[in-house]
Amino acid sequence: MVSGDLNRRESGIFTVDEIKEIWTNRSWSGKKSGNPLVVRGGYNCRHQFSYVNPDWYEEDDRFEEETPTISKKIQEQNKNDILNSNNTFTYNKNININEFNNALTRLNGQQEVTNKINEFINSKNISVMFIPRTIGRQAVRDKYFNDMKTMYKKNSDQDLDERIFQRIPKRMNGFTVKKDSFIATVVDSKDNLDFKNVDLEKLQENVRKTLKEARDDAGRYTLKRGTERFNLQWSFSKSQEGNIANQKLQTTLHELGHQIHFWATDDNRNFAKKLGQKLTVYGETNDKEYYAELFTAYATNRKALQEFYPDLTKAMDEMLDKAIKSKTKAIGIDF
């Protein structure tokens, strides 16, 4: 309806009534009966209708010069969303990415950090995937992988290697790959994940509690380092047990922390040792996990991190800014 001899306007814009009138008065091979907004051109038609706001164009149906095209408006709108249809794959429609965005933007005291996270994701074309734990099965990949690959290619202009998804360890809750630009959060079918169930107050409270217990050597789990013992929580996501939406939001931020780490540094070996503060047991696995755990706390409760570890907060401020500005990723460094 917006090409060929029917495109009688430069803008290609028609009212619903005009579309229905054209539909009624013209015929062609393959035309179906019914509502034109539903059946469109008929058999094998690949055209689509896009609804537009009258404010976007002038009375003569031309777009205002100072107003972006519809596609540009959509792109600008997507830039305001941390996760959107261009950069996110969800295997289950109930995993509502709009609610994920709402949760991050409503975190108390986190607006500046959240804006920078959004800027990083958009500037580095990071893709986010919520995948089923059963993705290692060929039949499951046959169902989902093509959509994952298509989204990733459009967003990052990179090819997605299916081999990465052939085996997901039983206890793995998320992962990313240093050379690639995606993060993946693994979801169990029994989780019934819906980000509208994020409890923001509890989320930030648990982060603060984990940081305080680390400072006070009062966590539930004991970490042994030679003759020393450190009592910490296992991880920031595990501290959210009882609310799967809180846990998966923290897991997603943890994996994003890895990508920020890769972009922010030329050499981050001994990163944890340099900072000298133990936060969680899992964070002591290696420098990569330490940074990802630190970022998880920073991305959800910077105020609490500042309260207990001001030096770490300053380091995170600098690292996030550096990641945003960086033109290269530390792919070749084994840290």
Q: How far apart are CA 37 and CA 181, in angstroms?
A: 37
Phi then psi for 110, rounded to 5 degrees?
-110, 10
Quote the crossing angle between the two packed helices 244-264 and 310-325, to the nearest 10°. Answer: 70
pLDDT at 71: 43
Q: How far apart are CA 185 and CA 127, in angstroms?
A: 11
Q: Is 11 exposed, middle or buried (0-12, 13-18, 19+ CB in 10 A)?
A: middle
From the CA atom positions of the chain, what is the Rg in Å? 24
Domains and CATH numbers, the chain: 1-67 (no CATH), 74-325 (3.40.390)
User: Does 70 have pLDDT greater than 50?
Assistant: no
pTM of the model: 0.76
For the segment 267-324, what is each residue's pLDDT rounded down to a tens digit? Answer: 555 555 566 789 999 999 888 899 999 999 999 999 999 999 999 999 999 999 999 9
- Local structure of 98: helix, strand or coil: helix
DSSP bridge partners of 233: 280
Task: Please state which of the ranges 72-76, 177-181, 190-194, 216-220 shows the lowest mean pLDDT.
Answer: 72-76
The two structure tokens encoding residue 62: 């031309």
Range list of β-strands (E), 43-142:
88-90, 127-132
Residues 6+ apart with CB under 8 A from 6: 22
Q: Taking all residues of the chain, what is their mean pLDDT, rounded to a whole number?
A: 84
**Closest CA relative to residue 144, chosen from 157, 133, 154, 135:** 135
For the segment 92-109, what is each residue's pLDDT rounded down to a tens digit? Answer: 989 999 999 999 999 999
The two structure tokens encoding residue 107: 């975190």
For the segment 148-181, what is each residue's pLDDT rounded down to a tens digit? Answer: 999 999 999 999 999 999 988 888 999 999 999 9
Q: How far apart are CA 269 and CA 335, in angstroms?
A: 5
Q: How far apart are CA 156 and CA 168, in angstroms?
A: 23
324, 120 Cβ separation under 8 angstroms: yes
Residues 6+ apart with CB under 8 A from 102: 195
